[in-house]
Amino acid sequence: MRNTAKITTAVLAAGALTLGLTACGGDSSSSTDGPLIVAASPVPHAEILTYVHDNLAKKEGLDLQVKEFTDYVTPNTATQDGSVGANYFQNKPYLDDFNKKNGTDIVPVVTVHLEPLGLYSHKVKKAGDLKSGATVAIPNDTVNEARALKLLAADGLITLKAGVGNEATPSDITKNPKNLKFKELEAAQTPRSLDDVDAAVVNGNYAIESDLKPSKDALVLESPENNPYGNFLAVKKGNEDDPRVKKLAKLLTSPEVKKFIQDKYAGSVLASF
């Protein structure tokens, strides 16, 4: 039986949240004797965790519970306040930015996979076919916006200021030969905007949820080489040595999980181990 509880959360901006926001009541995840509750995005994170739950966890004596969230903020606030014992949904630049802005102390445990960011369109077949003045939707959170702009720059659609980092915004564009216009949206909204804009940069998990196949449908796709955006299991600092966390980290980087990722996602999600 699939032991996954789904939670639908409102789409909230990170700046509007306080650390008092909790994802679920109780503090059951703080005891190393109870189940390990892990907050995760539905796709592919919760799917990978559910595979571990159904096929591997029992043999390791791990009582694993998965809670799904549809935003990129609540899993961290829930991990910080102890509502869940760990989360699996984010990359290092995003976590670094979140910790800095929110005063949290969440740390990575083990990197599991990469979801390549891609540029998609319902109106053109190639990025070069975008017309002058075309509107491109991009994620509005700090790290993913910069990541989206770097993707467009790597394909020559724009040029960014030299040395720009993970806080790049459209104001850091130095050359824009197609006079592209940018529509900044919450990351989950970008695939839903494809009928209203000329193209959209979409995070891998949201692309898959929207029946887009990054390896086939993306006009431009991130390269996995030296990519800093691998997604990892994370915990509140001090919980890295929790035996349950160590067991899950081992299972998430097992040959069985690598094969599951390869078979299920066919290049749209890439194992990082």
User: How far apart (Å, rounded) are the C-alpha atoms in residues 252 and 202?
Assistant: 25
Q: 29 pLDDT exceeds 80?
A: no
Q: What is the pLDDT of residues 170-229, one digit of tens each?
A: 999 999 999 999 999 999 999 999 999 999 999 998 999 999 999 899 999 998 778 889
Share of the chain above pLDDT 90, in %: 79
Tokens coding 156: 């020559």
Could you give the CA distance from residue 74 to residue 10 in angstroms, rounded to a whole number?
10
Please answer whether residues 146 and 166 qualify as being in contact, where contact means their C-beta atoms are separated by less than 8 angstroms.
yes
Tokens of 155: 């394909």
CB 237 within 8 A of CB 83: no
Cα maximum dimension of the chain: 60
Tens digit of each residue's pLDDT (9 = 90 or more) over 121-147 = 999 999 999 999 999 999 999 889 999
Q: What pTM does this model have?
A: 0.74
The strand pair at 231-236 and 173-175 is best described as: unpaired
**CA-wise closest residue to 84 among 128, 127, 29, 144:** 29
Give bridge partners of residue 136 from the DSSP assignment.
182, 199
Please list, in sequence order, all residues whose beta carbon lies within 8 angstroms of the beta carbon of residue 135, skipping any fewer than 6 positions away: 180, 181, 182, 183, 197, 198, 199
Alpha-helical regions (H) of 124-203? 142-154
Compute φ and ψ for 172, nearest 5 degrees: -90, 5
